[in-house]
Every structure is written in structure tokens, then in C-alpha cells.
Chains A and B, each alone.
Chain A
Amino acid sequence: MKANGDKTFQIIANITLILLSIACVLPFLLLVASSITDEQFIIQNGYSYFPGKVSFAAYRYLWGEASVLFKAYGITIFVTVVGTVGSLAITSMLAYPLSRKGMPMRKLIAFLVFFTMLFNGGLVPNYLMYTQYFHVKNTIWALIFPTNLLMNGFNIMLMRIFFINSVPDAIIESAKIDGAGEFKIFHKMIVPLSLPILATVGLFEGIAYWNDWFNGLIYLTDPTLFSIQNILNRIITDIQFLSSTSLGSQVGQASEAIPSTAVRMAIAVIGVLPIIMLYPFFQRYFVKGIAVGAVKG
């Protein structure tokens, strides 16, 4: 009787979860199916899960604009790598001293870090500061520095707690007795001991940079600096964008020749593909990272 009740519950759980999983993945299939459907077929029947008439015209068109897309991917990759490495460096270098017991003013500084999570100046002062004083408008730095992307209070607190709990004081003391300087201790001992937290924060920073479109939206008007997300952001309302930008390689490509409804979906597929392909590899760390953040934060 008891075992029976358990089994029914398990079956219900599995069925519900299968349906939920499908609901989460299905929209992506609509995207892919639509991207390989013939333009005329879409105009008549709408976007559909079953490409009634398969056509790769959308991808052929995008291949014609490959130089723009490659450049955008180049910018996305550059920003992601530089941003993530820079973020890990300055975040860990701020968090580590704050974890040291004798550190003067550490309570005050930790509070100043924490306070940024409670209160901020908001978009207007940030925008005016970055554009009027730092002149980041239409520079690559606009994609790296603003909007707390480079470093945020939450990651600092997360790392600090890791350093406090997982780096024994004795190691630091003995290294000091051996005459190692603080930078050497950090570089040779703390960093190797902290790879799990560096990997977690690095993964989240990497995804944040890869997915970011906000900085490009407010700080960039020059399409040559657009990341792949900014291109996507522009194309959804302006399908001519690819061929109209000065980068467009095929000046002669007539606008009516663009299979625009399918191209919209194809470019989204190109934008989302790398992250979906990599997902199975980092899925486990991603889940762990969320759980760690929740418990510690």
C-alpha cells in the first residue's frame, strides 16, 4: 500500500517534470525549425515546429554577411575573456585581504563593499559619469567597465567567505616565516587553493559578459563595436541592419532578396548556439555555483 503510493507519486513527478522540461526547451526548437523553413512557406503558414519546406536561404544570406558576424563574435569573445579575467583578478585581490584577520580597516571596507549591494546611484549618474568624465561612449571599454559587470559586491562577499572558511591561517603564517611576501603568498598559495570559487565566479562572470547587451545599448551607437548580442538586439526591429551597416560586405544584395522572417530566426540560432553547445559541459558547475551562492550569500 505504502510502496504503491510512493510509486504513483514518482510517476506523477516524472511526468510533470518531463512536461516542464519540454516546455523549457521547445521554444528553442521553434527557433531552429523556423530558421530552416522556406521564406514563402513562413509567410503563408507562420513560424512552425515542422519546416514544411526546408530551405537554407537564411543561412546563405547570413554567410554573405559573415564578416560582420565574425567581427561581432570577435568582440563578444574579447570582452568575455578580458572582462572575466580582469574581474577575477580584482575581485579576488579585494576579497582576500578582507578575509585576513589582522587586516586594519577590514570591517569598514567590507561594509563599503556590502553597502553597494543595498544602495546605488542608478542609471542616470552612472551614464553621465561614464560618458562625460570617462568618455567611454563608442569605445570597447563601454562593454567592460560599466553597470557592475567588472566587479560586484555579491562576488566579493562570496569569495571572502570562501577565503575565511577554506584558507587556514597556519599556511599564511608559515609562508611568512619562510620570508614570502604577500603577493607571492597570494599568487603561489591562495590562488591554487581557491580554484573552486574562482571557477564558480568566473563561470558566472563569463556568462554575464557573453549575454550582456545593456552596456552596448546605452553606450554604443557605432555598429562596428557591436557584440553579437547588440547585433541581435538591433536586427529584431531592423532586418536591413546587416546589409545597411557600413560593414555589410555585399552592397549589391538587394533588400527584397532578404528572406527576412527566416533570417530573424537564423541569426538568433547563431547567437544562442555556442552557449547551448557548451551547456552540457559546464551544467554541473553552474548548478553547484547557484547552490553555493544561495547558501553563502
Chain B
Amino acid sequence: MEQVDVRKINVVEQKNVRKINIRKKKVKDFKNYLPLFLMMSPGLLYLLINNYFPMFGLVIAFKDINFTKGIFASDWIGFKNFEFLFKSADAFVITRNTIFYNGSFIIINTIAAIAVAILLNEVKNKFLSRFYQSAILLPYLISMVIISYLVFANLSIDTGFMNKSILPLLGLGPISWYNEPKYWPYILTLVNLWKNVGFLCVIYLASIIGIDKEYYEAATLDGAGKWKQIILITIPLIKPVIVMMVLLGIGRIFYSDFGLFFQVPMDAGALYSTTNVIDTYVYRGLIQLGDIGMSSAAGLYQSVVGFVLVLLSNYVVSKIDKENAIF
């Protein structure tokens, strides 16, 4: 019995000695690495202020903000803001729009980008290939404000290219584009495709170029035509990239391109039923209406559901293919 105890004490002592050694080593490490910590400090400070402080600010959604009391001293009101938000018709409209638009963007952009990437890969002339790529990527480089001008040049009610040139040609009367919500799902989907297809296309092209040419040579010898090669070789081999990009998109389905939904319809009130998404709703609540309660409730709703969706989509990726999981 005693012996056992002594042995135990020895073990504990050894452990303590080891702990002290580790601690000494850690202290030494910290001294050695102090300059590196100093180097990181501006970045860490920005991260703390710009990214972590606002996370605590999410509690605003549960408060009745009163600036004379200060943000954190304002009264708690529980879920009142959420009650108001989810009782209003807005909550359904913005959720539907956000998911519907982003969902169709994922599907349409992915198909279009893969198709264009496959076509680009077929162009053997280096100069032409670079030219096409530059042209298709150009819209991606342009700010949404400029794009809203391009759309306006086409859709302006009095002087737009559509109303003055295209519609008369088809024998149709002018359409009051900025007052008719029913057209905007098509317009916004088209603008989004036009702006982003180049970016996605570059990503898919990079993975298509990486495919070993021997697969195609073997298939050609076996008499497979282009179409079969695309279906049986190209698509299956870039599938990991497709799956990853689509799941990344699904993970971000609750976040919209604010510029697309705010600038392109020129913030036209008549269009809100088909152009209002969570991001524009939060912005309007905060800046235009000064309704911090509703706006912060919608923001928290977005942050939390968005986060859950990221985790879920990553979980799905890791089940399909561990290598492609983000974490």
C-alpha cells in the first residue's frame, strides 16, 4: 500500500517537473516569438475590432436601443423585435427572395460557367482564347454602380434602348420597367449571370486544363466523340470542384450581393416585392428608416441561419469527400 502511494507521488512529481519544464519552454517560446506577436498585432487588432466586437453587438436585436442610455445600457426587450419581424409580411418576402434568387444563381451560373469553360478549353488559338476570356471577365471587374447605369441605359422608361428600339421593333408598347416587379426576377438573374459567369468560368477552366490529356487520347482511339468525352471525362473529373463550389454557394445562400439588389433596381420602391432581400431590408431599416430593432433582428436572423447553413454544407462536403471539406 505504502509503496504504491510513494510510486504515485513519484509519478505526480515527475508530472509536475515536466509541467514546469513545459511552462519554462513556453515562456522561452513566447520570448523568442515576441517579435512575431508584435508583427501580428495590427492585424489582430483590426480583426478584434472589425470582426469580433460586432459579434457581441448582435445582442442589440434583444434590446430597445436608446442612444441617450448607450447601446449596452439600453433596456432588454427579449424577442419583441423578432415577434414584430416575423409577424410582418416582410419576413416571408425577404427570406423567399433571398433563397429563391441565390438558389437560381447557383444553378444557372454553374451550368453556364462549365459550358463556357468547356468551350474555351476547345479554342486552340492562344490569342483568341485570351481575348474571349478577357471579354467575358470584364463585367466581373466593374462596380455595381456602373452596372446600374448600363441597365438604366437599356431599361429607362423614356429613353431606354429597350423601350425606344427593341420593343417598337417587335411591335410592342413601352414597358415601365422600374414600376413592374414581375420582370425583375429575370433581369436580376441575367445581370448576375452576365457579371459573374467569367469569374466562375476561370475557376472551372483551371481545373479542366489540369485534366491529363491521355484520357482524351484514349477516348478518341476508342471512337468517342466530343460530346461523349465531355460527358464521360471532363464533367466527372471536375466534379469535385463543382461540388465544392456549389456547396460553398449553398453555405452563403442567406447572404446576397447587396449591390445587385439595391443599385440595379435603383432602390425603386415599386419593385420591393421582387427585389427586397435580407441585406437590402437590413440596410433600409437601419439607414433609411432608422428602425434599428427590426433591422438588427433581421441581421441576427441572417447571421445565425447563415452560419448554420455554412456548417451544414461543410458537413455534407466532408461526408462526400473529406479532402474538399473546408474544415
Contact = CB atoms under 8 A, between A and B. Distances in A.
Interface of A: 2, 5-6, 9-10, 13-14, 16-18, 20-25, 27-28, 30-31, 34, 42-43, 45-49, 89-91, 93-94, 96-98, 100, 102-104, 109, 112-114, 116, 118-129, 132, 145-146, 148, 150-151, 156, 181-183, 186, 207, 210-214, 217-218, 229, 232-233, 236-237, 261, 264-265, 268, 271-272, 275-276, 279-280, 283-284, 286-287, 290-291, 294-295
Given A46-B163, A120-B303, A145 B50 contact: yes
A283 B134 contact: yes
19 contacts: A17-B132, A20-B116, A24-B198, A28-B138, A42-B159, A46-B164, A89-B42, A104-B30, A118-B307, A118-B311, A120-B51, A120-B55, A121-B54, A122-B300, A125-B296, A132-B71, A156-B43, A232-B146, A284-B130
B286 A124 contact: yes
Contacts of B300: 122
A187 to B, nearest CB: 10
B189 interface: no
A213 B282 CA distance: 17
Nearest to A156: B43
Contacts of B220: 2
A124 B150 contact: no
B111 interface: no
A24 B134 CA distance: 10
Interface string B190-226: 0000100011001101100000000000001001011
B109 interface: no
A16 B119 contact: yes
A49 B154 CA distance: 11
Nearest to B116: A20
B142 interface: yes
A26 to B, nearest CB: 10
B232 interface: no
B289 interface: no
B321 interface: no
Nearest to B166: A46
Contacts of A118: 307, 310-311
Contacts of A218: 283, 286-287
B76 interface: no
Contacts of A23: 194
A17 B120 contact: yes
A278 B305 CA distance: 40
B307 A275 contact: no
Given A24-B135, A24-B139, A104-B29, A129 B46 contact: no
Given A122-B303, A123-B282, A125-B58, A24 B136 contact: yes
B194 A124 contact: no
Interface residues of B, number: 100
| B32, B57, B158, B302: most-surrounded residue (chain A CB, <10 A) | B57
Contacts of B122: 9-10, 13
A160 to B, nearest CB: 11
Contacts, number: 280
Interface stretch (B13-21, B87-95, B97-105, B258-266): B258-266
Interface in B1-28: 26
B123 A10 contact: yes
Interface string B265-298: 0110000000000010011001100001001100
Nearest to A295: B206
B114 interface: no
Contact of A146 (B50, B164, B199): B50
A228 to B, nearest CB: 9
A213 B55 CA distance: 24
A268 B149 contact: yes
B189 to A, nearest CB: 15
B286 A127 contact: yes
A162 to B, nearest CB: 16
Contacts of A233: 145, 263
A121 B58 contact: yes
A60 B135 CA distance: 30
Contacts of B186: none
A213 B161 contact: no
A20 B152 contact: no
Given A17-B136, A126-B50, A129-B53, 19 more contacts: A31-B149, A46-B156, A46-B159, A47-B153, A94-B42, A94-B43, A97-B33, A100-B36, A104-B30, A112-B52, A125-B54, A129-B49, A150-B46, A182-B39, A214-B259, A232-B145, A236-B148, A236-B149, A268-B150
Contact of B54 (A9, A93, A112, A129): A129
A193 B139 CA distance: 32
B84 interface: no
B29 A128 contact: no
B55 A119 contact: yes
A43 B163 CA distance: 12
Contacts of B128: 14, 17
B222 to A, nearest CB: 11
A21 B159 contact: no
B44 interface: yes
Contacts of A103: 33, 36
